[in-house]
Amino acid sequence: MSSVNNEREEILRMSGVDPTKCMKCGKCSGTCPAFDAMEYHPHQFVSMVNKGNIEPLKQSNAIWQCLSCFACMERCPRDVKPAKLIEAVRLTVIREQGMNHLESENVPCMLDPELPQQAIVSAFRKYSK
Amino acid sequence: MQGIIEKVTELLDNGTVDRVLAWKAGEFSYDRTPAVFDKESGLYGLVYDSFCVNNLSKYLIEESKKDGKVLVLMKPCDSYGLNMLIKEHRVDREKIYVLGVPCKCKVSVDKIKATGLTGILDIVEEGNDIKVTTVYGDTTLDRKDVLCDKCMVCKDKVVVVYDEKIESDETAGIEKLDRMAEVEALEAMTPDERFNFWRSQLSKCIRCNACRNVCPICSCTKCVFDNDNTGISSKANVDSFEENMFHIVRAYHVAGRCTDCGECSRVCPQNIPLHLLNRKFIKEMNELYGTYQAGTDAEAKDPLTAFTKEDAEPSVIYNR
Amino acid sequence: MHKIGVFVCWCGSNIAATVDVKAVAEAASKEPCVVYATDYQYMCSESGQNLIIDAIKEHNLTGVVICSCSPRMHETTFRKAAQKAGLNPYMVEIANIREQCSWIHKDMAEATAKAIVLARAAIAKVQLNKPLIAGESEVTKRCLVIGGGIAGIQTALDVAEAGFPVDIVEKKPTIGGKMAQLDKTFPTLDCAACILTPRMVEAGAHENITLHTYSEVEEVSGFVGNFTVKIRKKARKVKMDLCTGCGLCTEKCPMKKQPNEFNMGLDKRGAIYIPFAQAVPKVPVIDVEACLKFKTGKCGICSKVCTAGAIDYEQQDEIIEQKYGAIVLATGFDQIKPTKFGELGYSQYPDVVTSLEYERLMNAAGPTKGHLLRPSDGKPPKEIVFVQCVGSRGQSCRDKSYCSKVCCMYTAKHAILTKDHYPDTNIHVFYIDERTPGKNFDEFYRRAVEQYGVDYIKGQVGKVYEENGKLMVQGSDLLANEQITLAADMVVLAAAIEPDKTARSLGTMLTASMDTNDFFTEAHAKLRPVESPTAGVFLSGMCQGPKDIPETVSQAGAAAVKVIGLLTKDKLLGNPCVAHSDEMLCNGCSQCARVCPYGAITYVDKEFRVPGPKRVETRRVAVVNEAVCQGCGACTVTCPSTAMDLKGFSNRQIMSEVDAICK
Amino acid sequence: MQVNESSKEFKPCIVAFCCNWCSYAGADLAGSNRLSYPADVKIIRVPCSCRVNPLFILRAFQRGADGVILCGCHPGDCHYTTGNYYARRRMTMLFSMLDYLGIEKERTRVEWVSAAEGAKFAATMNDFISTVQSLGENRKLRDLRCKE
């Protein structure tokens, strides 16, 4: 139990999110463009992390499906920042794997003029620790 | 220096100002004492150099009551005090012409003497060298080693209130010390150690009131300690409580208003580090209520005349 | 030299059972200046009071200490007794030896010792008491109501009915406010105009009410009972006394291109216009920004058609000055324009409207004559999505932090009314929490769901976009854990309400404090909800916080009662325990004024003789307005020179108590 | 140790400043409900917590008080709307300074007690007294002439 709590605290510390600020309006999930691809949705991240129910999130595909477009952060009326939470869960997983999937020096050769800037940043968020 | 004299002469001659509040050379070549010059007296003796330490802002209380306009040479750190005096309506801004002057940190004659030099005849500043002539011979000191304590933690080199200012890009070239380091060292002590420290310091107090008289903030028409009707008046310290009382009350009265100009400690004949009391308040207020520098402007509410609904409870002190 | 009498009360056995009252009297009699000390069974009884009165007279007492129950209980009683005996009532001090001594201690010796200390402290204090005389000030028996909405009208009517003259200042050309724009009212669904307009007419016709419409408060000075207010009556360019309100000018005006504010800009009005048919006063006003005559010097049609000769292009703003005893703030609210919520498309799509706009679209006197037609193409909408909490309850810069309170209910109302008129319309409501605490409120909301089949969706809308001529509303359905997209014909945003923008400057003028949201603060959140902390200023309606019509009306009535209570008095007796500045000590530093919650401190330049031949010096010194000061003492601690002191609780008095206790 | 043995016997002198509208009424309520606390506490009535000048507290210590407590309305409930907010900052600063000077900070306290909180008032006083008792007599900030 305590390790679960520690994980919760760690994720909150990493993300700087205070999930108690959430008023459960669902605007984040109403906004999310990747909603259908995620089995856990932004508002669920907020409530599940708050309850310390983090393992399912770590196992989920949702953390990789999140586009990290930050629409949920932008729209959240209570400034809760769900995307930061998702990112923190993702980072926890990446750190446990102890792997960087993306090194900055390898990036230039992958660049494609068609690739949106945000996707590159997003890739960094997802694949490097 | 030459630029200052020219500017002052010009303003005096063209009638913009009637008097000049500045420093003049004193008995010894390194003595600098605040003085008022006018057309009649001329500017003979007016000097501005690294020995001009005094904060002139407080003199403006009396000077601005007189007829005519007074020009004042204003160092950056003293200008904060002037802003406080303007904010508290203690001076008449209309009757003051502020000529901002640059400062590359002041030299402490006490520190020169503390190097062991005696029989000093003359001190001359040449660049970064301080050349001291004594009856025993000549010595050269590095300017950096004999700067005033208050200059070692200088706030800023910007004159915050002025009508005109003379710029200079000269700097003392020193690394500033952490202003709160001394306070933190005291905080790290046990209460008994702190108590003993302050007892040993405050028991030296001879109640000469120099700290009060030099302070640009301590400018009450009548000080509570001089007023028989307050019930706490006292002219001399009769016991340890009164030594404490005077300094606690003084620090409290200037809390939130003190600009940390450091004059109180500088003038104390007993070398009591009085600035550490004021700085403690400044540190505490900065930490609890947000960074605030008294005198930055003449409008802002100081921390003790303001509040937020979310302020810390007094228990933060004993929960530490 | 004082002559002090000490009276120790037994309070039956309440005190005497635990405190040796005789010992207290005995000990007190040995204190300096005490010339008389006694004990008695019930000091507050008539015979007890007579005992005090006789002793004051017999011993020429200059100060009295009563050792008894809490001063909160009988301080006034004993002060009155002292006054009967010719002693200034403020020369009485109470030592609380019941609540704070006999009732909480069991050991007699201990309780007696404490009672003696408490008596000693009171004796020490009373020696420094000074006779205080409560200041009197006249009360101008006239009330000013700022704002002519339902709150202002109700307050004005109640005060006027009690026989006091009332002036209403309204910045718009007519009274009526926001309520006049509403269609029906929840939860009874009676028509807003039907219940409001009689009130408007009554206010307009009342012999005690003067309307200053199209006017603004320019300047306020003075204090409770004695306010002087300058009111700017803006030039209507129409003579009120001549105009018959026939409306011919408004029909003939060629400049019918101005957005009609009353209909939320959904249709147009002329440059000369009457805001709406039931306006009071029913006198048009010329919008000089839009009028051809003012822009080009040509036209003048309105003047030509006016048979009464009421049009006056030369009319200028007029400033009137009036004295008032009380001021009521009823400045009301506005609905925010949700332009910052780009994702909801308010600025982009004409069919995304605010609820107040929707209100006008439903209204029989509205731009569509009561037919619900969407603004873009004038077709009746079949799918309508309501979005609640737009701009309310948020923490970002575009949100208000508070709940706007009325949106849940009016959204249910809109849904019901729409379904009533157009049963084939589908209605969806995105909500976060459905808040219905009010009489018959929840029943009303349930009716929308159960009887009318309104689709309530727990969740918020993420975005609104257009696709194939439909407004696509994408939002979350939290209960289904789904993201849904609805194709709608219209989207109605329950945008947050906010206090009227002009309230802030009024607040400054009146030193009526405001919270961070610009709502006026009440003197006490629970016990004085319709008074502002500034004496003589009262609060009515939405300017104090979000509320619905019945709440507004009851608060308006409560404010009126407070006003009447004030105006009924001929003179106001101040609290003499107020701050006082010793001008010989004052530095004029303004620190005291910075902490005064009442704006009671002003500064004057005063000449003082100073040592030296015929020298005078001008100094800035603080002056306390005793009628405004409430005696909190915040200023006294801020004053470094102790120039500022509090009568009745002076520095010396409190310190003498400290000394006596610590001895 | 002698100090510990005598601490039970030690009768501290405690000065309590109570605002007229909340805490003084709370103290009255404690009395009405017969909630006892030691007789060492002596209450001084002030209109508002913001009336309490740091001078009064220093004066109390000078004259031999062993502890000083200030009670006012809860923040947000001040009769004068803002008084206790100022008091809160002022006392925080004073306590900080006393601590800095090496005076036991536990000898000073601020508590918010409403007119309805008689029980809290009594509990607060009991707690404060036991704290001061464990500290023993105040010697650090005292004018020794004031007590024989």
In terms of residue numbers, what domain contains C54? 4-126
Is the pLDDT assigned to residue A105 strictly greater than 80? no
Mean local confidence (pLDDT), C455-464: 96
Domain end call among C552, C574, C596: C574
Residue B308: count of CB within 10 angstroms of its CB: 11
State the pLDDT at residue D146. Answer: 52
Whether residue A2 is predicted with pLDDT greater than 60 in this model: the reply is: no
Q: What is the pLDDT of residue D78?
A: 85
- Parse chain D into domains and list their residue ranges: 11-134
Query: Within 13 A of B217's CA, how many CA atoms are on the CB side?
Result: 25
* Distance in angstroms (rounded) separating the CA atoms of residues B241 and B233: 13
**B245 and chain D in contact, CB less than 8 A:** yes
CA nearest D63 in C: which residue? C662
Q: Whose CA is closest to B198, among B156, B142, B251? A: B251
- Report if residue C609 sits inside a domain: yes
B252 touches D at CB < 8 Å: yes
> What pLDDT was estimated at residue A102?
66
Closest CA to C305 of C317, C294, C293: C293
**Per-residue model confidence (pLDDT) at position C513:** 78
In the predicted model, is pLDDT for residue B7 greater than 50? Answer: yes
Q: What value does the mean pLDDT of chain B take?
A: 90
Instruction: Point out the least confidently predicted range of A97-101, A103-107, C212-216.
Output: A97-101
For chain C, say whether B39 makes contact (Cβ under 8 Å). no
- Band (A129; pLDDT cuts 50, 70, 90): low
Among B194, B231, B309, whose Cβ lies nearest the Cβ of D101?
Answer: B194
Whether the predicted pLDDT of A103 surpasses 80: no
**Nearest chain D CA: its distance from B191 CA (Å):** 4
Say yes or no: C417 and C517 in one domain: no
CA-nearest of C600, C578, C624, C594 to C534 is C600
Cα C142 to Cα C163, C319, C568, D131, distances in angstroms: 10, 18, 10, 57
Residue of C nearest to B88 (CA): C589
DSSP letters for C468-523: TTEEEEEEEETTTTEEEEEEESEEEEEEPEEE-TTHHHHHHHHT--B-TTSPBPPS
Residues near A125 by beta carbon (within 8 Å), at least 6 away in sequence: A68, A87, A90
Looking at residues C532-552, what average pLDDT do you find?
93
B187 touches chain D (CB under 8 A): yes
Give C548-589 pLDDT, tens digit per residue.
999 999 999 999 999 999 999 999 888 899 999 999 999 999
CB contacts, 8 Å: B305 with chain C: 591, 594-595, 638
Reading the block at residue A94, the tokens are 């990446």
Residue of D85, D89, D102 lying closest to B198 (CB–CB): D102
How would you label C3-32 residue by residue, b for 16+ Cβ within 10 Å and e otherwise?
ebbbbbbbbeebbbebbbbebbbebbeebe
Residue among B231, B245, B311 whose CB faces D89 most closely: B311
Using CA atoms, how far apart are residues C420 and B21, in angstroms rounded to an integer? 84
Q: Which residues in chain A are contacts of C399 at CB distance < 8 A? A: 77
Among the partner residues A21, A23, A36, nearest to C432 by beta-carbon distance: A23
Domain of residue C597, CATH code: 3.30.70.20
Question: Is chain D in touch with chain A: ≥3 Cβ pairs within 8 A?
Answer: no
- CA of C169, closest CA in chain A: separation in Å? 37
For chain C, positions 413-472, list CB contacts with chain A under 8 A.
Answer: 430, 432-433, 458-463
Phi, psi of B119 (to 5 degrees): 60, 40
Structure tokens given for C615: 């020298």
pLDDT tens per residue, range B168-216: 877 777 888 899 999 999 999 999 999 999 999 999 999 999 999 999 9
Establish if C619 touches chain B: CB-CB under 8 angstroms.
Answer: yes
Q: What is the per-residue pLDDT across B113-146, written as a single tens digit (0 to 9) for each?
A: 888 888 888 898 888 899 999 988 899 999 989 9
- Using CA atoms, how far residue D70 sits from C69, C427, C635, D51, in Å, is 22, 58, 18, 11
pLDDT of residue D145: 57
Q: Is the ipTM of this complex over 0.95?
A: no
What pLDDT score was predicted for residue B181?
A: 93
Adjacent-strand bridge partners of C63: C4
pLDDT in tens, C218-263: 999 888 898 999 999 999 999 999 999 999 999 999 999 999 999 9
At residue B290, does pLDDT exceed 90? yes
Q: Say how far apart CA C48 and CA B194 lie, in whole Å.
A: 56
Mean pLDDT computed over B19-24: 94
For residue C37, CA distances in Å to C22, C31, C57, C59, C61 come to: 9, 10, 14, 11, 11
Number of domains in chain C: 5
CB spacing of C389 vs A44 below 8 angstroms: no
State the DSSP code for C401: S
The answer to whether B183 and B283 are in contact (CB under 8 A) is yes
Antiparallel, parallel or unpaired: β C470-477 and C482-488: antiparallel
**Are residues A41 and C399, on separate chains, in Cβ contact within 8 Å?**
no
pLDDT at site D115: 85
pLDDT tens column, C366-422: 999 999 999 999 999 999 999 999 999 998 889 999 999 999 999 999 999 999 999
Tokens encoding D82 = 């803002």
Share above pLDDT 90 across residues of chain B, in percent, rounded to a whole number: 64
What does the alpha-carbon distance between residue D52 and residue D18 come to, in Å, rounded to a whole number? 9
B221 contacts C586? CB cut-off 8 A: yes
Chain segment D118-134, per-residue pLDDT in tens: 999 999 999 999 999 99
pLDDT interval class at D7 (50, 70, 90): very low
For residues C329 and C146, the answer to whether their CB atoms sit within 8 Å is: yes
| pLDDT-wise least confident of C65-69, C85-89, D115-119 | D115-119
CATH assignment at residue C204: 3.50.50.60
Which of 274-313 (B) contact C at CB < 8 A? 301, 304-306
Q: Where are the beta strands (DSSP E) in C330-412?
A: 333-335, 352-354, 383-390
Q: How far apart are CA D148 and CA D136, in angstroms?
A: 17
Which DSSP string corresponds to A36-62? GG-SS-HHHHHHHHHHT--HHHHH-SH
Say whether D35 and C104 touch across the interface (CB within 8 A).
Answer: yes
D77 close to C (CB below 8 A): yes
Average pLDDT over residues C462-486: 95
Task: Tell me how far apart the alpha carbons of residues C396 and C389 are, in angstroms, rounded to a whole number.
Answer: 13
Q: How far apart are CA C255 and CA C339, in angstroms?
A: 28
Report the range of poorest mean pLDDT among C299-303, C500-504, D5-9. Answer: D5-9
Helical (H) or strand (E) element with C78: helix C71-84
- Is the bond into C375 cis (omega within 30 degrees of 0)? no
CB contact under 8 A, C462 and A30: yes
Task: Name the residue among C393, C462, C474 with its Cβ closest to that of A23.
Answer: C393
Q: Which residue of A has its CA nearest to C475?
A: A30
- Residue B167 is predicted with a pLDDT of 85
Q: Average pLDDT, stretch C59-80?
A: 94
Percent of chain C with pLDDT over 70: 100
Using CA atoms, how far apart are residues C493 and C181, in angstroms rounded to an integer?
17
pLDDT of residue B171: 77
Euclidean distance between the first and the last CA atom of chain A, given in angstroms as a whole number:
26
Contact call for residues C372 and C413 (beta carbons, < 8 A)? no
- How much is the pLDDT for D141? 79
pLDDT, tens digit (0-9, with 9 covering 90-100), for C3-56:
999 999 999 999 999 999 999 999 999 999 999 999 999 999 999 999 999 999
Give the residue, D5 or C477, on which the prediction is more confident.
Answer: C477
pLDDT band at C136 (very low <50, low <70, confident <90, very high): confident
In contact, A63 and A93? CB cutoff 8 Å: yes
Give the containing element (helix H, strand E) for B20.
strand B19-25
With pLDDT > 70 as the criterion, what percentage of chain B qualifies? 100
Specify the pLDDT at position C73: 87
CA distance A48 to A37: 18
Q: Residue D1: what pLDDT?
A: 36
- Let me know whether C358 and C477 are in one domain: yes
pLDDT of residue A1: 47
B chain contacts of residue C640, beta-carbon cutoff 8 Å: 220, 224, 253-254
pTM reported for the whole predicted model: 0.71
3-class state of residue D110 by DSSP: strand
Architecture of domain A2-127: Orthogonal Bundle (1.10)
Q: Do chains B and A touch (3 or more CB pairs under 8 A)?
A: no
Residue to substitute from D15, D29, D46, D53, interface C, most C β-carbons within 10 A? D53
**For residue range C277-302, what is the model confidence (pLDDT) as tens digits?**
999 999 999 999 999 999 999 899 99
Q: Compute and round to an integer the Cα radius of gyration of chain C.
A: 33
Tell me how many helices (H) and strands (E) chain C has. Answer: 17, 34
| Number of CB atoms found within 10 A of residue C506's CB | 22
Please name the member of C433, C462, C481 whose beta carbon is closest to the beta carbon of A31: C462
Listed in sequence order, the residues at least 6 apart from B27 whose beta carbon sits closer than 8 Å to its beta carbon are none
Q: Establish if D91 touches chain B: CB-CB under 8 angstroms.
A: yes
pLDDT score at C516: 80
B touches which chains (3+ CB pairs under 8 A)? Answer: C, D
C334, exposed or middle or buried, with CB in 10 Å at 0-12, 13-18, 19+?
middle
D11-134 is classed in which CATH architecture? 3-Layer(aba) Sandwich (3.40)
8-state DSSP, D49: G
**Nearest CA to C307 among C253, C249, C255?**
C249
Q: Do B239 and D55 touch (CB under 8 A)?
A: no
Q: Is residue C22 part of a domain?
A: yes
Q: Are residues C212 and C341 in the same domain?
A: no
Q: Tokens 């007190």: give the residue.
A: C28
Rounded CA-CA distance B186/C658 in Å is 31
> 3-state DSSP call for residue C81?
helix
- Retrieve residue A88's tokens: 């923190």
Check whether D8 has a pLDDT greater than 60: no
Q: Which amino acid is at A94?
A: I
Specify the 3-state DSSP secondary structure of C37.
strand
Tokens of A10: 């760690």
* CA end-to-end distance (rounded Å), chain B: 50
Residues C514 and C433 in one domain: no
Rg of chain D on CA atoms, in Å: 15
